[in-house]
Structure 1
Amino acid sequence: MPFVNIKVPQAALSTAQKAEIIHRMTDLLVEYLSEAARPHTMVLIEEVPDGGYGRADEVFVIPEAYRATS
């Protein structure tokens, strides 16, 4: 069973954007593995709360301008 785990900042993606990522990632894996993989493909999008991750020793908080509107 193909499994994809994507972590994004909380509120960075809309529900529609998440659905599109799930569909496109599934299609990508089917392209490589065959159509038989489609019913067994799992795509998990995890939202990480602000302040729950960092880079280069800095805690990250998503700017308001980058938050999804729905």
Structure 2
Amino acid sequence: MPTIRVTVPQAAWSKDEKAQIVAKLTDGLNAVAADSGKGDIKPYINVHIEETAEGGYAMGGQVVG
């Protein structure tokens, strides 16, 4: 099963926004699969959104939050 993992700052995205992220990532991966002859894999795609606590991640070597 394909799995997409996304890490975001805690409370940065609303529940509705996360639903949009899931839908668009799923559709995008499914489109690539279809274009490469793998057919419709949408029912098998898992998307995990992980929220990090403040200070729990870094960008460019700098802790964010």
TM-score band w.r.t. shorter chain:
0.7 to 0.9
Higher strand share: 2
For 1:39 and 1:57, how far apart are their aligned partners in 2?
Answer: 37
Structure 1 residues 59, 28: closer, same or farther in 2, change over 3 A? same
For residues 18-69 of structure 1, what are the alpha-carbon distances to aligned partners after superposition, in whole Å with 9 as ceiling and x for unaligned?
A: 00000001110111112521000001110010011223443211xxxxxxxx
TM-score, normalising length: structure 1:
0.77
* SS state at 1:36 partner: coil
Number of residue pairs aligned between Structure 1 and Structure 2: 61
Q: List 4+ stretches of structure 1 deviating above 4 A.
A: none
Q: What corresponds to 1:33 in structure 2?
A: 33
Q: What corresponds to 2:63 in structure 1?
A: 59
For 1:24 and 1:55, how far apart are their aligned partners in 2?
Answer: 24
Q: Which segments of 5 or more consecutive residues in structure 1 lack a partner in the other structure? A: 62-70
For 1:4 and 1:39, how far apart are their aligned partners in 2?
Answer: 13
Please, what is the CA RMSD of the aligned residues? 1.4
For 1:16 and 1:56, how far apart are their aligned partners in 2?
Answer: 29
Identity value in percent = 38
Q: What corresponds to 1:46 in structure 2?
A: 50
For 2:42 and 2:9, how far apart are their aligned partners in 1?
Answer: 27
